[in-house]
Structure 1
Amino acid sequence: MTDPSPRLAGVRSVQATGSGTPWLVALDVDGTILLQDETMSPGVPEAVARLRDGGHHVTIATGRSWMATQRWVEELGIAPEFVVCSNGAVTMRMIQGEWVRWNVETFDPSPVLELLRDRLPDARYMVELGSGQRLYTQQLDDWTLDGGRQVSFEELADEPVSRIVVVSPGHDEDDFHRLVADAGLNEVSYAIGWTAWLDIAPNGVDKGTALERVRTELGLDGDRILVAGDGRNDIGMFGWSRSLGGRAVAMGQAPAEVKDAAGEVTDDVLDGGLARALNSLPAPAQVSAGE
């Protein structure tokens, strides 16, 4: 594999890391674990299994809802105590053999929805309630809507939500960036997914804020963190990990600003970039629970 660092000045390539206590390894899903056809990136199952068997805490940190995430926890064969969903607004925890919504952040969606409707009257809207139920104005194939309910636009704002998702046919990421600036969405956290939809979470909430809560609960050292992702919604967790002395790995196909936020850049998802990053962590024999 080629060293990706020359592609972006100032960003180092993935580096091998020595032994030590178990790491918290938090992985984005789309564009990191998964290819666009929802098959896994080359080498990922084997690399994840190696870390899992070595005693590392391997988990997922995704913009997806729990409903769309649980399958991949199972497919990877991991058994984390915590999983971060909905860009940090929802953290699931395994308690006595059952997944529970351990931490849920919500906000009043009314002001944001009104701003967006004025600018995107033909968009498709979905909200996720604190309970996990999804309300939507029109169905979209990319949305996991099992148990969801189609409602009028006005009903979307009837109660607090953990996220708002907006898809507007004919608009791309640049359009969404201009929209966010024009609408002044500075009281919520927002991200633009790899399929060019706008995902809005409570103010000050991102994958990093949720993972800090997880790290504290697990009692893990800050310099034993590795996070990997490819999107703008990963920038928060990159900054969090690096601020604690941990590692942040951007996928090779990530936008320039995402690579800028990371400390390391690996290969594209198509070329097994995540496996390369994971394999730089110590082998199972190098990690001992007593250290």
Structure 2
Amino acid sequence: MSDHWEPRLVALDIDGTLLKWVEGQGATYEQIPPATYDAVHRAMDAGCHVVLASGRSPHGMTRIADLLELHPGDGETERLWVVASNGAVVFRYPELEVVHEEVFDARPAVEAVLAEHPSALVAVEERGVGYRVNRPFPPGELSGEMVETEVAELVAQHVSRVIIRDPDATVEEFVALAERLGLHGTDYVVGWTAWLDLSPVGVSKASGLARVCEELGVDRADTLAIGDGRNDLEMLRWAGRGVAMGQAIEEVRQAADAVTASVYDDGVVVELDRYFPA
């Protein structure tokens, strides 16, 4: 990579990258630090595309886009591109317009997980509303309304993403479970807690970003991606420059080209300042 390299597109994870974690809770502060806001806008002012790429569902991402003011104008070319649901949904904003959605039959995988963790919580996104769940998730873990629904009904139709959460299990138990089951027919991501995201095979933030880059005419070599979680692994490997946040686990750090400061030390600002200094 040239010393004079500058990204044409910056892909940003949200939780643990743009937003700091609330200590001891599975939630983040819904506040954008002023330094982060300024750094992102310096990139935009330089003509760089900024794309949010998250495991969140679409309606959980538009507020962050609003807080960052990522849509400076009303023209079609200025509408934001967003990669949601770990790549299963690509949408434009505002107004929220789903451009692409991948779906799959989650029933076999959900049944396999529940056979070993029968008390686990299951959620399926109900776009524009919130989630349909077998039982309520802990406060702060899901955005939007939670509508209680029987598991059989949750997975009766093809879906873009399923979340399985067991508050009584550990991350290590869920990592071992996913590896042991193989979860044929789906891809999976284990989060910071005993949280399992099930997605269509081959779908990731990287596949969603590839679709956006094609639409924008941007080469992957000209992309910068910043993230901190297991669901960022493919994105960090795919991007021209993949950067892990300082608090990321070793597996994520190893997948990246570089490691920046932690989210608590404005790691996004540190990285963006390399190309778009104040």
What is the CA distance between 1:93 and its match in structure 2? 1.7
1:144 matched to which residue of 2? 143
Give me the whole-angstrom Cα distance separating, in 2, the residues matched to 1:218 and 1:132. 29
Q: Secondary structure at the match of 2:82?
A: strand
1:33 maps to which residue? Answer: 18
Could you tell me the TM-score, scaled by structure 2's length?
0.88
Which position in structure 2 is the counterpart of 1:216? 214
Amino acid at match of 1:189: D
Higher relative contact order, chain-length normalized (CA < 8 Å, sep 6+): 1
Give the SS at the match of 2:161.
strand
- Give the distance between the partners of 1:102 and 1:17, measured in 2 at CA: 36
Displacement after TM superposition at 1:129 (Å): 5.4
Residues 150-205 of structure 1: CA distance to partner in whole angstroms, max 9, x if unpaired?
10111111111100101101212111111102222142111122344111111110
Contact 1:32–1:251 (8 Å) recurs in 2: yes
Q: Deviations over 1:91-142 (max 9, x none)?
A: 1124xx5221110000011101110110110011001257876311111221
Counterpart residue identity of residue 148, structure 2? Q
**SS where residue 161 of structure 1 aligns?**
coil
The answer to which of 195-204 and 64-73 deviates more is 195-204
Question: What is the aligned counterpart of 2:4 among 18, 23, 39?
Answer: 18
Aligned letter for 1:88? G
- Structure 1 residue matching 2:157: 3-state secondary structure: coil
CA distance change for structure 1 residues 218 and 18 in 2, over 3 Å: closer, same or farther? Answer: same
Q: 1:265 aligns with which of 256, 259, 262?
A: 259
Report the CA distance between 1:18 and its aligned residue: 2.6
Give the equivalent residue in structure 1 for 2:74. Answer: none
Unaligned residue ranges in structure 1 (runs of 5+): 1-14, 285-291
What amino acid maps onto 1:224 in structure 2?
D
CA contact (8 A) 1:130 1:160 kept: no
Match of 2:117 in 1: 120
RMSD value, Cα: 2.1
Rounded to whole Å, the distance in 2 between the matches of 1:189 and 1:132 is 25
The answer to whether residue 246 in structure 2 is matched with residue 252 in structure 1 is yes
Among 142, 152, 155, the alignment partner of 1:157 is: 155
Trace 1:98-247 onto structure 2 (pairs within 5 A): 98-128=95-125, 134-140=131-137, 141=139, 142-146=141-145, 148-241=146-239, 246-247=240-241
Q: Give distance in 1, aligned partners of 2:3 and 2:42.
A: 15
- 8 Å CA contact 2:39, 2:276 repeated in 1: no
Letter in 2 for 1:103: H
Contact 2:106-2:186 at 8 Å conserved across structures: no
Q: Which amino acid counterpart does residue 168 of structure 1 have in structure 2?
A: D
- Aligned-partner residue type, residue 61 of structure 1: A
Runs of 4+ in 1 over 4 A off after TM superposition: 129-133
Q: 1:216 to 1:74 in 2, by over 3 A?
A: same
Match of 1:58 among 50, 68, 76: 50
Write the distance in 2 (CA, Å) between the matches of 1:90 and 1:258. 23
Q: Partners in 1 of 2:2 and 2:271 — Cα distance?
A: 8
Q: Distance in 2 between matches of 1:130 and 1:201?
A: 16
Structure 1: how far apart are the matches of 2:268 and 2:36? Answer: 7
Deviations 1:36-95, CA, capped at 9 Å, x for gaps: 13133572111111111221101200000111111001101112531000000011124x
Separation (CA, whole Å) in 2 of partners of 1:269 and 1:34: 7
Cα distance per residue 1:236-280 (max 9 Å; x no partner): 111211xxxx11000011010101100010111101111101111
More displaced 10-residue stretch of structure 1: 264-273 or 77-86: 77-86
CA distance in 2, matches of 1:262, 1:275: 17
TM-score (norm 1): 0.84
